[in-house]
Amino acid sequence: MGNAQDHCVGLWATGGSDSAFTSPGLSISALQNRPVQIKWTNELVDRYGRYLPHMFAVDRSLHWANVPQEPGHEGLVSTDIKPMLEGRRYVTPDNYTDPETQYTDYTGPVPIVTHLHGALTVKDHSDGYSEAWYLPRANNIPAGHAKYGRWWEFLKEKHRRETGVDWGEGHQTVTYPNTNRATSLWFHDHALGLTRLTVYAGAASFYLMRGLEYDVLDSRTGRTARAPAGPSNVYGQNSPNPGADLALAIQDRSFNSDGSLFYPSSRSFFDGYQGPFYPEEPGIPPNWVPEFFGNTMVVNGQTWPYQRVERRRYRMRFLNACGSRTLYLDFRGIPGVEVWQVANDGGYLDEKVNIMQLEGWRRGRVILAPAERNELLVDFTNVRTGRYTLRNVGPDAFFPGGRPAENGEEPRVKLYPFEERDVVFPRRIRTPPARSWPSTWFRAGVSTRPRRVVTSG
């Protein structure tokens, strides 16, 4: 790869009033059956309070948020529709000269709304409905632009009646009951027609649901089982002695020569098609591409990352945050490692699965579709000290349903000696019965802001 160099990359980061802003954002750790309220704030403005346009080309020909409220079918003026754009043809921003006969990429203020992916029993006012987006509180919102999606007012009033907490310009407070079993969820932007772009820009992270001491019961004894524990890793840290509970968000990205993020701005990138586009050719949008596969794997915001581990067991939570790519994580390049899957999107499995003993080409490989999460117990006890590579061997394709083809690297693994005797995880695991916990509210504020982040690559 050549010598590592530091590049300053523009990203959209997430953080709280008393925490650093990072991309992926801060991980939120919640307790089962302890409801929380979170205030999500759209702070995508510059230091003068002016709105920032999106980092990537926003396609106005889709069924999208339609912030400018351009007329749709039969002249309907509304947000969250597909504008007709009659009598106009698409041109690139550099060639845009006549709004009467042309249209180009949307460059106005960015709508966001946050969705907690995989959460159960969340009411509609807090679910991050794609048509309940909101703009930042900027001082230069263009005339005629809606500040909220068409379901904003209805859901705002419903949340106020049920909780007594109101929403306001540039922010939304949501209520999560946290009724899931202990599992790994994630939150991300969900604005209509922009989710793929804003998640790629960095607005996503883990939401870890913990079940206190009742996470896992040992079916042999009925007592609490001991899984590898300790504080979850902090994004960007590779300390010599990390906690044994690691959360790893994997994304594929591409970069321009100056280190900035690249995302296709034209359909021609996908298949070479040069036009005409909507509405001249009704079924073909000018910017949107059916799929995109970045050529660089990024883990917790780091290119060519590594994780220092000791010769012991770890609990590793994986999230596939790619937009299109199915991951095939191959542990076979780490001789002596043992890997068990103990949980998936819905929580703990009834029995752990020995990944290293699967049959055929799936032996030693973990498959993750976009947005999928799982939890693994990875035991490095019998691995010799050294450097190893956990590879993604999946092809540049949606899940192909067949043998993988080698394609790129995942985190490098560095092993360090660890002398303590490790804990034996039970052969069988089972979920505990539902338990009632005091409804003590936890409130937090989380914002999305532009940030310059240094990445090594």
Q: Which has the higher per-residue pLDDT, 271 or 225? A: 271
Instruction: Read off the pLDDT of each residue in 286-312 and give the average, rounded to a whole number.
Output: 89
Return d(Cα 33, Cα 181) in angstroms, integer: 9
Map out the domains of the chain as residue ranges. Answer: 6-429+438-456
Instruction: Read off the pLDDT of each residue in 384-399 and give the average, rounded to a whole number.
Output: 85
State the pLDDT at residue 212.
56
The CA-CA-CA angle for residues 70, 73, 76, to 5°, reads 55
> Using one digit for the tens of pLDDT, what is the confidence trace for 320-344?
999 999 999 999 999 999 999 999 9
DSSP 250: E
Q: Which has the higher per-residue pLDDT, 44 or 427? A: 44
Return d(Cα 232, Cα 235) in angstroms, integer: 9
State the pLDDT at residue 446.
56
Q: State yes or no: pLDDT of 232 exceeds 80.
A: no
- Of the listed ranges 34-43, 181-190, 202-211, 363-372, the least confidently predicted one is 202-211
* 3-class DSSP assignment, residue 89: strand
- Of the listed ranges 7-21, 70-84, 313-327, the least confidently predicted one is 7-21
- Of the listed ranges 187-191, 214-218, 239-243, 307-311, the least confidently predicted one is 239-243
> Using one digit for the tens of pLDDT, what is the confidence trace for 149-164?
999 999 999 999 999 9
Tokens standing for 191? Answer: 């604005």
Residue 15 has φ and ψ, to the nearest 5°, of: -165, 175
Q: What share of the chain in percent tops pLDDT 90? A: 60
Instruction: Read off the pLDDT of each residue in 21-44 and give the average, rounded to a whole number.
Output: 89
Q: State yes or no: pLDDT of 98 exceeds 60.
A: yes
State the pLDDT at residue 413.
52
Instruction: Read off the pLDDT of each residue in 83-107 and give the average, rounded to a whole number.
Output: 96
Q: Which has the higher per-residue pLDDT, 6 or 143? A: 143
Q: Are strands 347-354 and 313-320 parallel, antiparallel or unpaired?
A: unpaired
| pTM (2 d.p.) | 0.85
Return d(Cα 301, Cα 456) in angstroms, integer: 10
Which residue, 435, 26, 66, 90, is CA-closest to 273?
A: 90
State the pLDDT at residue 397.
74
State the pLDDT at residue 338.
96
State the pLDDT at residue 128.
96
State the pLDDT at residue 177.
95
CATH of segment(s) 6-429+438-456: 2.60.40.420
Instruction: Read off the pLDDT of each residue in 183-208 and give the average, rounded to a whole number.
Output: 94
Query: Is residue 181 within 8 Å of 4, Cβ to Cβ?
Result: no
Confidence class of residue 307 from pLDDT cuts 50, 70 and 90?
confident
Query: Is residue 442 within 8 Å of 39, Cβ to Cβ?
Result: no
Which residue, 169, 194, 158, is CA-closest to 67?
A: 194
Q: How many residues does the chain have?
A: 457
Averaged pLDDT score across all residues of the chain: 83
> Using one digit for the tens of pLDDT, what is the confidence trace for 401-446?
555 554 444 555 555 444 333 333 333 333 333 333 333 344 445 5
State the pLDDT at residue 108.
97
Which residue, 75, 186, 85, 65, is CA-closest to 133?
A: 65
Q: Which has the higher per-residue pLDDT, 348 or 115? A: 115
State the pLDDT at residue 321.
95
Q: What share of the chain in percent tops pLDDT 70? A: 78
The CA-CA-CA angle for residues 272, 275, 277, to 5°, reads 125
Return d(Cα 326, Cα 367) in angstroms, integer: 7
Instruction: Read off the pLDDT of each residue in 261-284 and give the average, rounded to a whole number.
Output: 93
State the pLDDT at residue 3.
28
State the pLDDT at residue 66.
98
Q: State yes or no: pLDDT of 224 exceeds 80.
A: no
* 3-class DSSP assignment, residue 356: helix
State the pLDDT at residue 303.
85
Q: Which has the higher per-residue pLDDT, 439 or 31? A: 31
Instruction: Read off the pLDDT of each residue in 223-237 and give the average, rounded to a whole number.
Output: 51
State the pLDDT at residue 78.
97
48: left (phi over 0), alpha (psi -120 to 50) or beta: alpha
